[in-house]
Amino acid sequence: MPRPGLAPKEDEPETPTDLDLRDLPRAVRAELRGLTPELAQVVGSHLLMAGQLIETDPKLAYAHAEAARRRAARLSITREATGEAAYAAGEYQVALHEFRALRRMNGGTEFLAAMADCERALGRPDKALKLIREGLDAQPDFNQRVELRLVEAGCRVDLRQTPEALRLLKNEIEASAGRGSRGARARLRYGYADLLERTGDAESAEKWFAAAAALDTDGETDADDRVAALRGLVLEVDEDALVGEPEPVEEIEEAVQADAEPAAAEVDGAAPPDADEPEEDPRDEQASEKDGEDAR
């Protein structure tokens, strides 16, 4: 019989037995040292699987992360893995619960953008805006600031304040002036272009998607495909044949800035959010519902 804490639940994935925990980041391995060797192997194996699957099968990644969290909920690494996997799988209430737990553990603000996006996904844009203001007041680095602004723009759209969303993103692009990582700058321009297209400004959207594509040399977005779609093209790229340096980003952005339409006037902000709701683990409610079904 497995020791307490090691026995799997009926609905959780099997624990992998052929993984090397040395593949985990050093900080994760350091936290696992607080567990018994046997338990550390089980928890670490589920964490490894969650990390490997989060992009290709987020629901299975979430199941593995939850299996790790159930056995070692006091470790911040299991709460972080569960939050990120739940977020990727669309389990926003669970993700929000885990990110809140992480904040209580370490007091950090690095997950405020994800928390705000969860609130937005749950239909609470005003609460999301409160978290965004808190995140911006903490003077985040450029990457975190971009994520906060992108969620903020989404909230403004949800509140039917699309002109304000466009203004926010355009101002952030102009303020960055070439600072920050290329990936974050690409995401910012992609978000702006996507919103322009949704408002019917296909010409400006094409130009900003092109600016995003010039920055996104790692192909994290589908900006190239969006440009091709707006031009009515089918894009076929032989990546092995690509050589040389991309067109200078600065030249592309200067051309875009010169041609882009000015954003609409600023719209008043949202009303103050309601008081926070009591903290509850959404999995407790799911378990109660299942118990009720079993009793019937």
pLDDT tens, residue by residue, 164-204: 999 999 999 999 877 889 999 999 999 999 999 999 999 99
For residue 51, the model assigns a pLDDT of 96
Distances from the Cα of 174 to the Cα of 3, 46, 78, 107, 257, angstroms: 58, 43, 38, 31, 9
- Give the lowest-confidence range in 17-26, 54-63, 272-281: 272-281
**pLDDT tens per residue across span 102-160:** 999 988 899 999 999 999 999 999 999 999 999 999 999 999 999 999 999 999 999 99
Look at residues 70, 64, 79 and name the one whose alpha carbon lies nearest to residue 28. Answer: 79
**pLDDT tens per residue across span 257-283:** 555 544 443 334 444 444 444 566 777
Write the CATH number for 99: 1.25.40
Look at residues 143, 76, 87, 141 and name the one whose alpha carbon lies nearest to residue 116. Answer: 87
Alpha-helical (H) ranges within the chain are 26-32, 37-53, 58-71, 76-88, 92-106, 112-121, 125-137, 142-158, 162-176, 182-198, 202-215, 223-230, 249-259, 282-295
How many domains, the chain?
1
User: Does 32 reside within a domain?
Assistant: yes
**pLDDT tens per residue across span 69-80:** 999 999 999 999
User: Does 280 reside within a domain?
Assistant: no
User: Does 36 reside within a domain?
Assistant: yes
**pLDDT tens per residue across span 203-251:** 999 999 999 999 998 989 999 999 999 998 544 545 454 344 444 555 5
User: Does 149 reside within a domain?
Assistant: no
User: Does 84 reside within a domain?
Assistant: yes
- For residues 48-65, average pLDDT: 97
For residue 289, the model assigns a pLDDT of 56
User: Does 233 reside within a domain?
Assistant: no
Residues 62, 90 contacting (CB under 8 angstroms): no
Binned at pLDDT 50, 70 and 90, residue 291 comes out as low
**The whole model's pTM is what?**
0.78
For residue 176, the model assigns a pLDDT of 84
User: Does 70 reside within a domain?
Assistant: yes
Provide the residue range defining the domain that includes 41. Answer: 1-108
**How long, in residues, is the chain?**
296
User: Does 64 reside within a domain?
Assistant: yes
